[in-house]
Amino acid sequence: MDTFLAFVGSFFSSLWGFIKLGLMGFFSVISTFVYMILDGLLTVVTLFVTSLDLSALVFTQYAQWTNLPPQAIYLVNQLALPQCASLIAGAMIVRLLLNLIPAAVTRV
């Protein structure tokens, strides 16, 4: 009788180990899939934000409208201040988009 109880105990212990292993594998696949989707989405958003470099054109039009001298417009464009403002605005947009992801999902 003890042999039978030991067999049943070890069988269910092994079965529980296989179930846990299967569930861990399933959740690993699901988390990898979600990571790939979010990584692709954020890559597309980043590429979209960085491809919109209209800052120098907008600044030049604005500076000509406010009658800045051409030397000042040239200096500001050579110092890349409009691109700097664009980069900061893009970083703020990405940060705001990252805040849309709930905190419960990001805590591991």
* Confidence band, pLDDT 50/70/90 cuts, at residue 23: very high
Tokens 């399933």, located at residue = 26
Q: What is the pLDDT of residues 66-103, one digit of tens each?
A: 888 888 888 888 888 888 887 888 889 888 888 887 76
Across the chain, mean pLDDT equals 84
pLDDT at 37: 93
Could you count the other beta carbons within 10 Å of the beta carbon of residue 82?
20
Those residues with Cβ within 8 angstroms of residue 85's Cβ, 6 or more apart along the chain or in another chain: 55
pLDDT more than 70, % of the chain: 93
Exposure of 76 by Cβ count < 10 A (0-12 exposed, 13-18 middle, 19+ buried)?
middle
User: Across residues 38-50, what is the average pLDDT?
Assistant: 87
